Every structure is written in C-alpha cells, then in structure tokens.
Amino acid sequence: MMKILIAFDGSPSAQAAVDEVAGRPWPKGTEVRLATVLERPLPLPPPNGIEVYAPLLEKMRVSLREEAYQRIQRAMKTLATRKDLTISYEMRDGSVKEALLDAVREWDADLVMVGSRGVSGLARLLLGSVSQALASHVPCSVEIVKHRS
C-alpha cells in the first residue's frame, strides 16, 4: 500500500498536483491525503482594547478555516473519481513548512506531491519555498508539479 500526501493550499499549482495524482495509475489501495495548513493571521493592533480584538481574530480564523474546507472539498471531488484510491484530508494550524513536515512524518507518507508557484528572486528569499523545504527535509520522495499557465 502506498501513501501519497498532497500539500494543498487551494492555489492553481496545488490543484495541478491534485490533477497529477488523479490522472496517474497507482497501486490498488493507495491512500491519498490532502494536507492544508492555516497560518495564523497577522495580529492587528487592538483598536479599543482586547475585548474587540479577540472576537475579530476568532471570526477571521473561522472564516479562513471554512474557505480552506471548501477548497479541500472541491479537490476531493477530483480525486473521488478514482475508486481505487482511499482519500482523506487534514487541516493544521501553524507555520506552513513546519506543519507540512510534521504531517509527512506523522502520517509516514511514501510520496509528497506539491505544486510550485514559481516564486523566484527576492520573494523566494523572503518567503522561502515550501516545495524546497519539503524536498530537503522529508524522509520520502517529493514530486514538485509546475502549474502550466
């Protein structure tokens, strides 16, 4: 049995990774897991005190979680056409790189599929590359799928 983890953020490049998995032959019983990480929203300065700030942050968190869930459900429909695959998902909170590395290790994935946004130059230096971090640090194979514009 094979375990494939797809690092999924709802972007076109992440969807390309989902499409790649859906379009390939895999051994019967292969498990596919979509892993989404919700980064904590940047803190905003409290306008009139903490009593306003906390509910606003909670509302933002719930909204982001719901949007992520809807994106995951759309991606799972793509994979659901494959009756030979067992499909699941998980949402984690925290730093994208760290949470995905933990997800891969804890689930003991055999393969990680990740889309590449094609960020380069200064943006890559400042933001870092999730696909590069995964390729460098996970204990399994990583395939980076480029989105064709």
Q: Residue 67: which domain range?
A: 3-146
Residue for token pair 């990740």: 114
Exposure on the CB side of residue 88, measured as CA atoms within 13 A: 12
Q: What is the mean pLDDT of residues 40-50?
A: 59
Number of domains in the chain: 1
- Judge whether residue 31 has pLDDT over 50: yes
**C-alpha 29 chain-centroid distance:** 22
d(CA 114, CA 98) in angstroms, rounded, equals 15
pTM for the model stands at: 0.83
Exposure on the CB side of residue 78, measured as CA atoms within 13 A: 20
CA dihedral of residues 100, 103, 105, 108 (deg, nearest 10): -130
- Judge whether residue 47 has pLDDT over 80: no
Domain harbouring 93, CATH code: 3.40.50.620
pLDDT tens-digit profile of 96-140?
889 999 999 999 999 999 988 655 555 444 445 788 888 888 999
